[in-house]
């Protein structure tokens, strides 16, 4: 089994909190009805989701399958899929990319700020994850890379 699409993951994220009806999953995800139905069926066929008495819930997933679904390659594919969608989004996009000169002192300060940002985001998510529907959550990405290393990676093809 390969990794999952972002659409499949959002359904599993919803159903992972508690059993949900089809209507609740539609409300939580904001997916179109036919897309949602097809994804639910695909997740059941893959053995990742169960349907009982009109409720969908996560199936018991073996650790090896969990590692495959959440391993580095699968996470990379999901991240790329989401980043492409953010870049192609026409509205409500707040995205900045800068090539900036940082001396070692400024880089340390920046990395500390990123650490604070990550802590803030984790706390905010923990506080709000049960009250904010998945469809209203935000995708946030950040990072830093050295231009020379990025260029070499581009030249090497990945």
Integer Cα distance of 140 and 125 in angstroms: 12
18's CB contacts (< 8 A; 6+ apart) are 57
Residue 127 reports pLDDT greater than 90: yes
1-93 belongs to CATH 1.10.10.10: yes
Say if pTM beats, i.e. exceeds, 0.75: no
DSSP 157: T
Query: For 45-96, what is each residue's pLDDT tens digit?
Result: 999 999 999 999 999 988 888 888 888 888 888 888 888 887 777 776 677 7
List own/partner pairs for 75-78 with CB under 8 A and 24 or more apart: 75/3, 77/3, 78/3, 78/4, 78/5, 78/6, 78/9
Domain boundaries of the chain, sorted by first residue: 1-93, 96-158
Residue 110's contacts (CB-CB under 8 Å, 6 or more residues apart) are: 102, 144
The string over 50-66, giving b where at least 16 C-beta atoms fall within 10 Å of a residue's C-beta and e elsewhere, is: ebeeeebebbebeeeee
Q: What is the pLDDT of residues 82-126, one digit of tens each?
A: 888 877 777 766 777 788 999 999 999 999 999 999 999 999 999
Structural contact between residues 39 and 29, judged by C-beta atoms closer than 8 angstroms: no
Q: What is the 3-state secondary structure (H, E, C) of 68-113?
A: HHHCHHHHHHHHHHHHHHHHHCCCCCCCCCCCCCCCHHHHHHHHHH
């Amino acid at each position: 089994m390969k990794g999952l699409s972002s659409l499949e993951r959002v359904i599993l994220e919803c159903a992972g909190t508690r059993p949900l009806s089809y209507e609740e999953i539609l409300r939580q995800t904001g997916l179109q009805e036919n897309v949602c139905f097809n994804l639910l069926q695909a997740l059941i066929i893959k053995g990742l989701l169960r349907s009982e008495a009109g409720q969908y819930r996560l199936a018991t997933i073996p650790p090896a399958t969990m590692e495959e679904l959440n391993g580095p390659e699968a996470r990379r594919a999901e991240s790329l899929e989401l980043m492409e969608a953010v870049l192609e989004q026409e509205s409500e996009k707040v995205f900045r990319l800068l090539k900036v000169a940082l001396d070692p002192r400024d880089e340390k300060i920046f990395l500390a700020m990123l650490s604070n940002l990550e802590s803030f985001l984790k706390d905010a998510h923990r506080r709000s994850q049960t009250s904010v529907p998945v469809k209203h959550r935000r995708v946030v990405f950040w990072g830093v890379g050295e231009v020379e290393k990025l260029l070499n990676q581009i030249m090497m093809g990945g």
